Amino acid sequence: MFKRPVFNNTLLNWYQANKRELPWRETSDPFKIWLSEVMLQQTQVITVIPYFEKFITKYENLDALADADEQALLKDWEGLGYYNRIRNFQHAVKEVQEKYDSKVPNRPEEFFKLKGVGPYIGGAVQSIAFNNQLAAVDGNVLRVMSRLNRDGRDMTKASVQKDVKHFIEKDMPLEAGDFNQALMELGATICTPRTPKCVICPVKEHCEALKANEVMQYPLKKKQKAKKEYYYNVYFILNDKDEILLIKQEDDLLKGMYELPRFDVDTSLESIEEKYNLQLTRPGAPIGDHKHVFTHKIWFMEGYIVYTANEHENFIPLRDVKKLPMSIAMQKMLNLINAEPDSKL
């Protein structure tokens, strides 16, 4: 077990001298700090930076985001994925607007009650914005702590993560926000998964895995499950009014997003006609395919153009399609039709 007071001081000194310049580190506004942490969940820093800068320009304060149109908000979030993050965030800031006079609660017991606030978001925001003595345990921190302590437990288990959180909080320095960021910075830049820079690590003297020459054995690596594969036909259903059929999603993950009609490959055109009460030309002309890899699954999609003379409430003018929020998978499918010579998208 490493010596905490010495470790804490060494890590904090290293962080102050070496921390990356990131836009959310230039503000003390709890709303903006909270927004950055929501964006950083499951998303790399380099991807988040332009989104964060765009959001704080367009939504300058908590009230602006709370009052934003959901569809516009989803469109601005487009490309970050995990769309429940922004829906939950807007729900939470609306509650802050109503219950706390638009001021982010600095009492952890109140903040943790807000929608979408779990152990990590709660610990990060409360420590960085208000210096409350809470740990923010993400994947980087779990990897660092596993190596420091030669902890061979499964770091994906909630019970283990809870233990790690308590261990950090037991001797948390007064500079809680900086300490949490220092641990995360160490994991992101030095104690990396595949190529750790142990030679220049500021706390290498405290690392039990390094002493045992076992750094790459930690954290314990679970055997990854093979991703499920799904095969779809995706239809560009166009009418003679330069409109395209798009479906607004209602399921939890993609609620409010639009997508092209997507069906299992063995679905007949007759079934599609019946579903949307349309009469389609056949056969559909193939225009290309796309593979999209999600966290736990893979979509293989083949695109087809079909035409109809019908009108339908779900038809959208081609000129308006780019204004609508869509998943990256559907945006890439739309690029197939953009490559067509007579495309009007």
What's residue 1's pLDDT?
59
User: Which of 21, 26, 37, 311 is an active site residue?
Assistant: 37
Burial tier of 177 (Cβ tally within 10 Å: 0-12, 13-18, 19+):
buried
Q: Are the beta carbons of 126 and 145 closer than 8 angstroms?
A: no
Q: What is the mean pLDDT of residues 125-129?
A: 98
**Spacing of C-alpha 149 from chain mean position:** 29
pLDDT band at 340 (very low <50, low <70, confident <90, very high): low
Residue ranges, comma separated, of all CATH 3.90.79.10 domains in the chain are 228-338
Q: What is the mean pLDDT of residues 239-268?
A: 87
Q: Which of 253, 322, 292, 335 has the alpha carbon at shortest distance from 75? A: 322
Looking only at Cα atoms, what is the longest distance across the chain?
75
Instruction: Kindly report the average pLDDT of the chain as a whole number.
Output: 92
Among this protein's residues, is 26 annotated catalytic?
no
Between 341 and 111, the more confident residue is: 111
Domain 228-338 -> CATH class = alpha beta
In 3-state terms, what secondary structure has residue 144? helix
Spatial separation of the C-alpha atoms in residues 89 and 125, rounded to whole Å: 13
Q: What is the pLDDT of residues 299-315, one digit of tens each?
A: 999 999 999 988 778 89
Residue ranges, comma separated, of all CATH 1.10.340.30 domains in the chain are 4-217
Between 342 and 271, the more confident residue is: 271
Q: Residue 254: is its pLDDT beyond 80?
A: no
Spatial neighbors of 100 by CB under 8 A, at least 6 apart, are 110
Domain 4-217 -> CATH class = mainly alpha
Q: What pTM was estimated for this model as a whole?
A: 0.83
Q: What is the mean pLDDT of residues 265-283?
A: 87
* Least reliable range by pLDDT among 97-101, 114-118, 181-185, 316-320: 316-320
Q: Which of 282, 275, 280, 344 has the alpha carbon at shortest distance from 316? A: 344
Highest mean pLDDT among 42-46, 189-193, 240-244, 276-280: 189-193
